[in-house]
Structure 1
Amino acid sequence: MVTRAEDGIEALEIINSGRTTNPFFILLDINMPRMNGHEFLKELRKTAIASDSVVFMFTTSDSVQDIARAYRESVNGYIVKPHNREDMNKKISTLQEFWTICEPPVRPVGPV
């Protein structure tokens, strides 16, 4: 199931309300209104419900500071959005191939 949020505050509300249970994978942008991606990631890692979710930043920022901060905040991967359709399609194709060969957890990830 795919759930979409407009910003970090809405995403945390969705996770904390139980509308989605134990998200396995979160695709996150840094540039969001109300709560940016760094702030969201910091808050997410504090929650018991989704602290161990796999989180990838998918953003336009190629700033060394943003990348370093994301990894300090325990992001699992950082992808800079390409500027043209062809490169975007290549990155999406690569991600689809990657997730096709990955084995999802047999049971929900989280505290036992």
Structure 2
Amino acid sequence: MRGKIIRWISNRGFGFIKSDEYERDIFIHISDITKRRRQPKVGDTVEFRLDTSEGIVSAKAASIISPSNKVSTTFINIVAMTVLCFLVASLTAYNWRKNDLPI
């Protein structure tokens, strides 16, 4: 099942999910989010298993699948490659000048 986090209380470690597949808001606790790389936030899309065993409708085995995770990873990769290219170009130019080679 999929849904979006519509409310998140960071200092308490829980929030609520809204899903098109279920009419009521679904409780989610931070301990039920697997492979957590950051704090959940409002607007995150999550994939989860719906659990009603404890008398409360809650999300279990949840994963954050927002595209925002991929965007930030892509941005970091672009910045890293830019810095690496600049470093290689600088070292090459320095080495050529040191050996009195024409650029």
* TM-score interval for Structure 1 and Structure 2 normalised by the shorter chain: under 0.3
Which structure features the higher share of helix residues? 1
Q: Name the TM-score, length of structure 1 as normaliser.
A: 0.17
User: Higher strand fraction: Structure 1 or Structure 2?
Assistant: 2
Answer 1 or 2: higher relative contact order, Cα 8 Å, separation at least 6: 1
